[in-house]
Structure 1
Amino acid sequence: MSTMRLRKAARIILVGAPGVGKGTQTERMLKRFPQLDSISSGDLLRDNVRQKTPLGMQADSIMKTGGLVPDSMILRLIRNALTTRGWLIPKEGVQPFTVNTLSTSFTPPTSPDEFLTVPPLHAQATSDLEFDFSDAPEASFILDGFPRTTSQALQLASLIPINMVIHIHTPTSIILDRICNRWIHPKSGRVYNTTFNAPKVEGKDDMTGEELIQRDDDKPEVWQARLKSFEENSAPLLNHYEERGVLWRVEGNSSDEITPKIFEEFGKRFGA
């Protein structure tokens, strides 16, 4: 695959239902556009927990008590990743919180509610977090895992502007056909699909003849519920970005059909 240079920073979010292939498209975009990087909020969280940074220790304590990591913490992880790379530059007089800010005062909480007193994202400066951001091609990224709601999108916008949101759409029937016809040989992990990669003998592993199983989370009723939940929850977020003129929708029945469309549009907007 030939690569393409960028002429300016691309700050991208991919939105799509479970099973639509967001990971595949991200991987292909990173290969096609080498200046593009991937920033995963989940990976940042796991890295900080593993490295036992003060912020990671806080997040770990919350999760161990069954709580959800608050948006302010995720934003702080993203902000730290961007400033570390030099893509966000605090303006004069702004002292940003980092993953190490609370190192001298951190005490593990007894309940998630205790973190309501953690300084919110906007509490550090009356200027509402004034940052300069790099528009250099090397400051291009795909943000994975955040935002998922309009509220999160507004918080992110106060940090750095997203300039393209790609809504990947594949018909529900195609996703269900792709996922719900998947059968697995549990001992080896071999995967079959009755639509395009069926076993030689129905319900049997090709190599051992042993029974194939369908995982509970691959069953049609589970995926119907997941897809319905995504449609309901993503609609406000998509409307938010459409109102701001950065939403672009792409449709296709497979990743191979969708990829060239993304490459073409992305190249028009950001290619050198």
Structure 2
Amino acid sequence: MRIILLGPPGVGKGTYARFISEKYNLANISIGNMIRNFLLNNNDLLLTKKLSNFINKGNMIPDHITFKIMKTRLSNIDCNKGFLLDGFPRNIVQAHILKREKIHINIILELYVPNNEIIKRIIGRRIHLPSGRTYHIVFNPPKIKNRDDITGEKLITRTDDNIITINNRLKEYLKQTKPLIKYYKKKFVKKNFLYKKINNTTSIKEVQNKIDKILKNFKKF
């Protein structure tokens, strides 16, 4: 399975990407986490500053930079048996890049949550930066407050998780990413391609069960 998770920032892609990758033993590739780790470990101060400015303002990073980072990750051997992309592609140009590079996708899962609920979710989000594990102070709290369940390390609040940046990111999503939905829905009529929209306003367990049922049925094809 080669899966793309679609949906606006804060819709829960990180939570369900982790569930899917563990359940089906797929490489979990989050472009957001990859870029943040890249910024932490990159020695090019000019590039680091440039990318940080894009992120802090809620703007998308240029496509050629994003794909360069993504392509390096996709070349790893663990992607040979399948992978899940969280946060890529984010626009039509990036989707065409995947097609040009012969990186074939066969499952699209679109997560939906109303915008007012998204803002609440992002404000309460907490991240374990090294692993990318995501928590929420209300909906998915860690076992110990502000500590990662596995390592016990401190959780952080992302610098771009603020009202102004969130609204900018939602506008960017509507402008750039929404057209992807139309793009991939056209492929839905083709054989061996699945597109499903999932309401993520219910409990985590209910949504996990929905996703699990969808993916198990796809594997029977």
Matches within 5 A, 1:66-145: 70-85=62-77, 139-145=81-87
Asked if structure 2 preserves the Cα contact closer than 8 Å seen for 1:167 and 1:250, the reply is yes
Change (3 A) 1:258 1:76: same
Task: Identify the residue that residue 18 of structure 1 maps to in structure 2.
Answer: 9
Deviation at 1:27, TM superposition (A): 1.4
Alignment match of 1:231 (pick from 174, 182, 199): 174
Query: After the TM superposition, which residues 156-235 of structure 1 pair with which residues of structure 2 at under 5 Å, given as runs?
Result: 156-159=98-101, 160-176=103-119, 178=121, 226-235=169-178
Cα distance in 1 between the residues matched to 2:137 and 2:73: 39
Q: Runs of 4+ in structure 1 displaced over 6 angstroms?
A: none
TM-score when normalising by structure 2:
0.63
Superposed displacement of residue 251, structure 1: 1.3
Partner of 2:30: 40
Partner of 2:211: 262
Corresponding position of 2:186: 243
Contact 2:39 2:48 survives alignment (8 Å): no
Residue 154 of structure 1: which of 81, 96, 102 is its match?
96
Kindly tell me: are residues 270 and 176 of structure 1, through their superposed partners in 2, closer, same or farther at Cα, counting changes over 3 Å?
Answer: same
Q: What is the CA distance between 1:146 and its match in structure 2?
A: 1.7
**Which residue of 2 is the match for residue 90 of structure 1?**
none
Q: TM-score, normalised by structure 1?
A: 0.53
Q: C-alpha distance in 2, partners of 1:216/1:142?
A: 24
Give, in angstroms, the shift of residue 11 of structure 1.
Answer: 1.0
Structure 1, residues 90-133: CA drift from partner, whole Å, max 9, x if none? xxxxxxxxxxxxxxxxxxxxxxxxxxxxxxxxxxxxxxxxxxxx
User: Is contact 1:11-1:164 (8 Å) kept?
Assistant: yes
Contact 1:21 / 1:255 at 8 angstroms: preserved in 2? Answer: no
CA distance in 1, matches of 2:117, 2:50: 39
Rg comparison, structure with higher value: 1
Alignment gaps of 5+ in structure 1: 1-9, 88-137, 183-190, 198-214
Shift of 1:236: 0.6
**Structure 1 counterpart SS, 2:84:** strand
2:75 & 2:160 partners in 1: Cα distance? 42
Matched-pair contact (CA < 8 Å) for 2:11–2:112: yes
Return the alpha-carbon distance in structure 2 between the equivalents of residues 222 and 234 of structure 1: 17
Q: Secondary structure at the match of 1:155?
A: helix
